[in-house]
Amino acid sequence: MLNSQRCGARTRGGTGCRSPAVSGKKRCRMHGGAKGSGAPTNNQNALKHGFYTRDAIKERRYFSDLLRESLATLREFD
């Protein structure tokens, strides 16, 4: 027990956690090393709206460029 790897978490006091890490992990059972801790893979609960996805940003840029070009063309006719 004394030779086992220690948890890498920091306490509120700024010192390191002195509990042993769970085997195969870098954290103790209290700081996220326990089985089942953490978010599941492909966590759909974290996806809120998709406003900042690569496709959404690309689409917004395309439409803003199209609008800018359309307004420039309309100004030429005035």
pLDDT digits (tens, 9 = 90+) for 19-60: 999 888 889 988 988 887 777 777 777 777 888 889 999 999
Q: What is the pLDDT at residue 76?
A: 94
Q: What is the pLDDT at residue 50?
A: 84
Asked if 54 and 42 touch (Cβ cutoff 8 Å), the reply is no
Beta pairing partners, 45: none
Q: What is the pLDDT at residue 74?
A: 95
Q: What is the pLDDT at residue 49?
A: 84
Neighbours of 27 (CB within 10 A): 19
Q: Specify the pTM.
A: 0.45
